[in-house]
């Protein structure tokens, strides 16, 4: 059985009010009713900082990347407000099946998981690179892939994954909304089951300072190796170290 990749929670920045991390794959943001004993971002950081940590947003279990957490109730309330009022900028990277259009907007409504009513959702995408593998995958004679930058204007559950599936370009490694044949092919070549969806940029107002916090993450080695395997060269703008910076608000 190919293992799911897991790893420690990497803290990129912390102060008296916030913690910024690079979330590893395979870890829940917080405990749910089905897995009460599994390590979560909240429990791991709570143990490390020896205090209660509060989440103000979440990433899916297998999604990696930038997250901000609060160290006190005041910070949690302010950050939650910013997410609720869409003042936080979020950008993702995804590796998807097929050669996607150069750019586009996906605005298919997404049902509320509790009540079922359709909710507005919008995802903008831009193709950064594409690649071809000269071997059959599933029913296709060769494998076509794209590296895509995503900007989420809303924060619905599984939004990026659902929207990309909707336009027939599912995320590689997505076991719920993806292509099983392509997922198996990718896992066999890397030795890991991995969801190629990463929160690469996050920007928000610091809840206690007059600054804007900008988070920009680099690419994990697993991504770089897989991209080389599928003929995608890392774009120059993604050749960078992970960084957190603060600057004056506009």
List residues with catalytic annotation: 60
Q: Measured between alpha carbons, how far is residue 224 from residues 11, 15, 90 in Å?
A: 22, 31, 22
Angle at the Cα of 93 (from 22 to 122), degrees rounded to 5? Answer: 110
Closest listed residue to residue 198, CA positions, set 90, 64, 88: 64
Other beta carbons within 10 angstroms of residue 122's beta carbon come to 16
Torsion of CA 60, 65, 68, 69, to 10 degrees: 50
CA distance 63 to 177: 14
Q: How many CA atoms lie within 13 A of 21 on its CB side?
A: 29
């Amino acid at each position: 059985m190919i293992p799911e990749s897991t790893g420690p929670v990497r803290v990129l920045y912390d102060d008296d009010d916030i913690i910024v991390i690079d979330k590893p794959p395979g870890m829940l943001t917080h405990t749910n009713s089905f897995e009460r004993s599994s390590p979560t971002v909240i429990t791991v950081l709570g143990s490390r900082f020896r205090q209660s940590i509060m989440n103000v947003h979440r990433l899916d279990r297998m999604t990696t990347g930038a997250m901000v957490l609060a160290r006190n109730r005041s910070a949690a309330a302010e950050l939650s407000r910013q997410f609720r009022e869409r003042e936080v900028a979020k950008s993702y990277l995804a590796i998807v099946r097929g050669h996607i259009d150069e750019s586009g907007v996906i605005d298919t409504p997404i049902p509320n998981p509790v009540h079922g009513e359709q909710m507005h959702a919008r995802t903008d995408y831009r193709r950064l690179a594409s690649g071809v593998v000269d071997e059959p995958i599933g029913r296709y004679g060769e494998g076509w892939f794209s590296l895509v930058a995503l900007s989420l204007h809303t924060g619905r559950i599984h939004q990026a994954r659902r929207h990309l599936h909707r336009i027939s370009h599912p995320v590689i490694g997505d076991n719920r909304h993806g292509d099983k044949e392509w997922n198996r092919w990718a896992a066999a070549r890397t030795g890991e089951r991995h969801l190629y969806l990463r929160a690469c940029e996050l920007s928000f107002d610091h809840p206690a300072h007059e600054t804007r916090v900008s988070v920009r993450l680099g690419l994990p080695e697993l991504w770089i190796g897989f991209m080389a395997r599928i003929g995608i060269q890392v774009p120059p703008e993604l050749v960078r170290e992970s960084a957190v910076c603060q600057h004056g608000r506009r």
